[in-house]
Amino acid sequence: MEQIVTTRPTADEALSLLLEGNKRFISCSLEHPNHCEESRGRLVEGQEPIACILTCADSRVPPVDIFDQGLGDVFVLRVAGNIVNDQILGSIEYAVKHLHCPLVMVLGHTSCGAVGAVAGGTRLGGHIASLTPPIDAAIKNVQGKDGNLVNNASMELAKNMATKIEQSEPYVADLVKDGKVKVVASFYNLETGEVSMLD
């Protein structure tokens, strides 16, 4: 069901709200907004999240906590390696077209197990193997670069997935072109708790 839109933050305002929440998370001064009975009641009839966040399924990367948000604040999609597939794209299309999310964020992270496995030469079997091609492409793009190969590849992967989302037709690409949606790539440091933006 399509939402009735009230005053919503712009993409830049939504990003600022998320990064401010991340600062609270880093400093252990969480506000835990929208976790009360009133918030639950308000959300029964619908949702108006300020952002759609695609991140890894890794249990150490919970976006609601990392950005100090609450119920109904972020539309979260999680899959190992934050890989984009048709189901993820369909969910993002729902977020931007029907829930009017102005911001789509891809959030990679340090020490990603999926990226580490592929970088280490592990042959993934079963359905896990479907993660390999985009991870492999990211690894090849950063070979020889200074720094940690897994983290470099994880950053590259987040940027690649953000580009794929941004160019996804028909809905997302059109909304990006019209200035109604912004797609960004970011990176979470497991040790420090900090989220940094990627170019």
Task: Please give the pLDDT value at position 124.
Answer: 86
On whether residue 6 sits in a domain, the answer given is: no
Q: What is the pLDDT of residues 143-199, one digit of tens each?
A: 999 999 999 999 999 999 999 999 999 999 999 999 999 999 999 999 999 999 998
So what's the pLDDT on residue 46?
Answer: 67
Note the pLDDT of residue 48: 87
Selection from 157, 130, 139, 137 nearest residue 54 by Cα: 157
Domain that includes residue 182, residue range:
11-198
What are the tens digits of pLDDT across the range 53-110?
999 999 999 999 999 999 899 999 999 999 999 999 999 999 999 999 999 999 999 9
User: Which of 3-7, 119-123, 163-167, 188-192 bottoms out in mean pLDDT, i.e. has the lowest?
Assistant: 3-7
Whether 3 is in a domain gets the answer no
pLDDT of residue 4: 38
pLDDT score recorded for residue 1: 35
| Count: domains in the chain | 1
40 in a domain, yes or no?
Answer: yes
Residue 3, pLDDT above cutoff 50: no
pLDDT of residue 135: 97
pLDDT, position 175: 97
- Does residue 162 sit within a domain? yes
Q: 4 in a domain, yes or no? A: no
**16 located within any domain:** yes
Long-range CB contacts (within 8 A, 24+) of 11-16: 11/102, 11/103, 11/181, 11/182, 12/182, 14/50, 14/51, 14/101, 14/102, 14/103, 15/51, 15/103, 15/105, 15/182, 15/184
Instruction: Tell me the mean pLDDT in the region 97-126.
Output: 95
Is residue 1, in this structure, part of any structural domain at all?
A: no
Tens of pLDDT, residue by residue over 11-65, are 999 999 999 999 999 999 988 877 666 766 676 676 789 999 999 999 999 999 9
* CATH number assigned to the domain comprising residue 181: 3.40.1050.10
Q: What is the pTM of this model?
A: 0.91
